[in-house]
Chains A and B, each alone.
Chain A
Amino acid sequence: MTEAQHLQAILRLGDDALVLGQRLSEWCGHGPILEEDIALTNVALDLIGQARNLYTLAGNLEDQGRDEDALAFFRTDREFQNHLLVEQPNGHFGDTVVRQMFYDAFALERYAFLTRQTVDPDLAGIAAKAVKELQYHWGHSSQWVIRLGDGTEESRTKVQESVDALWGYTGEMFMADDVDVACAEAGLLPDLEGVQRAWTARVAECLSQATLSQPEVGWMQRGGKQGIHSEHLSFMLAEMQVLPRTYPNASW
């Protein structure tokens, strides 16, 4: 594992957290009920907090004077290396909770490993905090999937459509590239085959309780980790970055 790969691994973790956190924050004021509005934005807050910690760590490691804000606001879409799943639009509430459930199941496995690895103790510290938050997120998203799936005919139909539509974005999480392989060999990141087994078991259990059917494994979308994104990310970043790019160094 080179230093550049180590840095890239941390940036990818940060990008997933930031992009999903920003997406969820779009629900602010639009939640289906007040409690859900609060819940979704609470989850967003945790994720953005995780991203801040990870970007600060990445900035220190890079040692080029870039802080969390520079990494969040002054990189272009091609420089973001988040998974395609997390940038997908919120859609309806069912789409949002299914996307969240798929991510939470993945993040729980990944962060549980990060707390145990000893290659980067700072990363282990961030993960120890994050993993406690992710357990709450998983509890929330998986229970909603079960409630909607095992709910009314309409909620079941809609959430099954969400599962089918988002399924093709899940495979990318387990496709290891050079960075994943090198970091896994060095003991910084988990082996993705193991993560996939755990994820598949966890998700299958949730879908089964929700009386939903699991789509056939087919073609999986890929590219996010290499900076090749769906168009949705660019629009999201444009909105997120416009203020600091228009008024650099603006402060409250």
Chain B
Amino acid sequence: MTDADRITRAWTFVRSVHDPELPYLTVEEMGMVRGVRVDEGQIVVTLTPTYSGCPATDVISEDVTSAVRAVEPGARVEVVLSPAWTTDWILPSAHEKMREHGIAPPEQASADRAFLTGEGKIIPCPRCGSRDTKMVSAFGSTACKAHFTCTSCLEPFEHFKCI
């Protein structure tokens, strides 16, 4: 088996790992897997954490390691911080899944300056589509989400913050 084949095979196992906080998304869809390579004969998966203090990072590293070790006993995970993860790396397929689960997906990170300048940003409600929503708190149930309420259907929802 060539290195290229091993990398392809390792990828299929990496793809099976889901985010523990957003179990309907894989870590690949989250844009956290930066690459798979062969280094001195062993498979190395490169991961980039979403937030510095995200407690899911350790679990994800362990899950990816054990998934790949099913076929590559010497596989390991390397955590790289640079370049820093951005919500722009989240795959488009993940956006629809987030909406289905009541989470407003992130927009382009570069466009997310409204909050920082204190202006309200318009995040459409993932349930009814209304643009009449308001931010309750910039910090939600996990490091990556903000807490919103829809003033049309009155449902609270979460918004995946852009960074």
> Which residues on A are within 8 Å of B, measured CB to CB?
21, 35-36, 38-39, 42-50, 52-53, 121-122, 124-126, 128-130, 132-133, 135-136, 138-140, 143
Contact = CB atoms under 8 A, between A and B. Distances in A.
A38 B53 contact: no
Interface residues of B, number: 26
22 contacts: A35-B137, A38-B137, A38-B147, A39-B139, A42-B140, A45-B55, A46-B52, A49-B52, A50-B52, A52-B53, A53-B81, A121-B82, A129-B49, A129-B52, A129-B81, A129-B85, A133-B52, A133-B163, A135-B116, A136-B115, A136-B116, A136-B163
Contacts of A124: 82
Main secondary structure of the interface of A (DSSP, over half): helix
**Chain A CB within 10 Å — which of B80, B138, B140 has the most?**
B138
Contacts, number: 85
A118 to B, nearest CB: 12
A49 B54 contact: yes
Contacts of A130: 52
Nearest to B144: A42
B125 to A, nearest CB: 18
A125 B81 contact: yes
B147 to A, nearest CB: 6
B159 interface: no
Contacts of A125: 80-84
